[in-house]
A and B are shown apart, each in its own frame.
Chain A
Amino acid sequence: MLTAAIKPKKRVIFLYLLIPMAVYIFVVFIPLVAAFFYSFFEWKGGPNKTFIGFGNYAALIKDTTFWESFGHNMYIVIACIIGQVGLAFVFAMMISSRLVRLKGIHRTFCFFPNTISAVSIGFIWTMIYDYRRGILNWFLKLIGRPDMVKVWLNEPDLVLPLISIPLIWQYIGFYMVIIISAIASVDKEIFEVAELDGANGIQRAFHIVLPLIKNTLLVCVTLCIAGNMKVFDHIFVMTAGGPGNASNVMAMYGYKIAFDQQNMGYGTTISLAIFVLSMTVIGGSQVLVKILTKEKETL
């Protein structure tokens, strides 16, 4: 903090803060307050709003499609924690080995899908899964399994894993880079000593590196949960929630209710539920991790 003598006048500070604060309040705070307001109304987007109290909230609790969508979010979150953070950890351990060459190229290539828009990623994978012209079916025919050829994204049982794959693939590089830099900050001597002691790669990964970069991994898991609770773009492009509701997620469902069905009051309630549920899941996971790590320490 600056000393009083050189502190600028209040008016100067006010003028500097005016525009950014105004924009921020207009885009974030007014809508946040408005969201609470709208969620108490039956409102089809027209001029008439009917106050229904907690009606939308009551409907939400009974709305099986919404909870199904929430379940799909959770499925994707878990798939991505294992797929993104888990695989990223494995790859990062591998890349940190002295035996691996071209580390720079691996890093650059693996990180690349991160920089592409979710929409483009969605289209690329739609083309990969395509029935007639997709690489997946081409490959199945190549290896002599034409019986497995499918209209992939139309399979209700398969659509969730199929949608998780592009998500995982896109962000592995991101978590990998974070974990690599965490591993790089671990004292090299520890590795050498462990190696002399006969610890193999897997032992080193789980008994030495894992505990040392625990905090970084927690950050990764939190980012991963937060990111996947609001997954939307990929799904909008690939399946729009279909077939049926098989790949519906909360944001997709909220969008459909509010803008396709013009049910704005209820759509807003769903949107707020996304916020509350994301916070709950993130908070819950932190608590869970704390309990689990504490138990280990006392053992």
Chain B
Amino acid sequence: MIMSSSNGIEDTIVLDRIPEAGIRGEKILSSLSRRVQSVILNGILGLFSITCIFPLVWLFYSSLKLKRNFNSNIIGLPKEPTFENYIRIMTNPDYHIWSSMVNSARNTVMSVALIIFFGFIVGYILARIRFRGNFLIKVMFLLGLVIPVYSLMVPIYVLFSRAGLSNKWFTLVIPYLAFGLPIAIFLVDGYIRAVPKELEEAAAIDGSSFTRTLFQIIMPLSTPILVTIGIIQTFSCWNEFVFALLLLKRQSIQTVPLAMTQFTGQFSSDYPKIMAALLLTMSPIIVFYFVFSRQIIKGMVSGAVKG
């Protein structure tokens, strides 16, 4: 019955038949119910938004307390805020928090750069060049989108240690690249298909080589999709846990999530210190997110839906 009302003309006719007084009365009533509705809607959403951000706030002000102050009052604001916890974490190399952040940053930058670079090349080739094996390669990468990492835990662990690739500073870049490629390739592939190929033909007539056209004409054009790939992969590389758990045993090369699991085991009763460490290791992500939130939300969502 409601669906049928999509016909606009019918509605105006119905409305015309309602007597004036009725409309006025309804208007007063509806403005009241509107106000109630607005309070309810804004209230519920506000509450949920606050719960999403509250842990961050709680973490922040609690990390400024000392352990005993926290234990006596877990929710109150710090009476005498101190950066003691942060100073200890930053200055004590045995905690491995600072070094893990450096490792994570290096891994993330290297992996993201390689994923963008190779994802762009393979995506472009698969979208534009017909050759034997094109379809097969595409199917192969498509398979990578559906295989859960957890299905390959044991063989990857064995393969990496046999090949002497475990426990190296570059170890994680290899699986991050491999598991980042499929989504990057499909995003680039979809994007390139919308670019008119006359562009490359004109470039070729002007004497531009394939490589030059690829990097000097197509790559700048593809910046938006490459940025999207960069955003998605930055978060997934910085936050990745399983490969780090399987492939890195040496403390000096650990990434943030792995270092955090050991840190919390060590200081399981010192919550403010754990909170300081959590916040510190989350800080690059938090800053990045709140500065570019619009682009990040758009990028992450479009990546997931298209993938």
Contacts and interface: CB of A to CB of B under 8 A. Distances in A.
Interface stretch (A27-35, A62-70, A148-156, A289-297): A27-35
B135 interface: no
Contacts of B240: 117
Given A99-B37, A233-B241, A275 B177 contact: no
Given A1-B130, A135-B58, A119 B293 contact: no
B59 A111 contact: no
Secondary structure at the A interface, as helix, strand, loop or mixed, is helix
A17 B122 contact: yes
Contacts, number: 273
Nearest to B143: A28
Contacts of A40: none
A27 B154 contact: no
A28 B147 contact: yes
Contacts of A133: 70-71, 74, 271
A116 B285 CA distance: 7
A31 B300 CA distance: 28
B152 to A, nearest CB: 4
B92 interface: no
Interface residues of A, number: 104
A100 interface: yes
Contact of A193 (B6, B159, B181): B6
A119 B5 contact: no
A27 B174 contact: yes
Contacts of B125: 13, 16-17
Contacts of A16: 121-122, 125
A108 B37 CA distance: 23
B35 to A, nearest CB: 9
Given A112-B52, A118-B239, A133-B71, A177 B153 contact: no
Contact of B45 (A91, A108, A135): A91
Interface in B67-97: 70-71, 74-75
Contacts of B129: 1-2, 7-8, 13
A119 B241 contact: yes
Given A99-B37, A133-B74, A181-B301, A271 B156 contact: no
A189 interface: yes
A190 interface: yes
Most central of A3, A27, A193, A226 by chain B CB within 10 Å: A27
Interface of B: 2-3, 5-6, 8, 11, 14-15, 34, 37-38, 41-42, 44-46, 48-53, 55-56, 58-59, 70-71, 74-75, 118-119, 121-122, 125, 128-131, 137, 140-141, 143-144, 146-159, 174-175, 177-179, 181, 197, 200-201, 204, 210-211, 235, 238-242, 245-246, 256-257, 260-261, 264, 271, 274-275, 278, 281-282, 285-286, 289-290, 293, 296-297, 300-301, 304-305
30 contacts: A1-B130, A2-B129, A6-B210, A10-B131, A23-B178, A24-B178, A26-B174, A27-B177, A28-B152, A32-B155, A38-B155, A95-B45, A100-B38, A110-B52, A112-B289, A115-B285, A119-B241, A119-B257, A119-B260, A127-B271, A169-B52, A174-B300, A178-B301, A178-B304, A193-B8, A197-B11, A197-B14, A233-B241, A264-B154, A275-B151
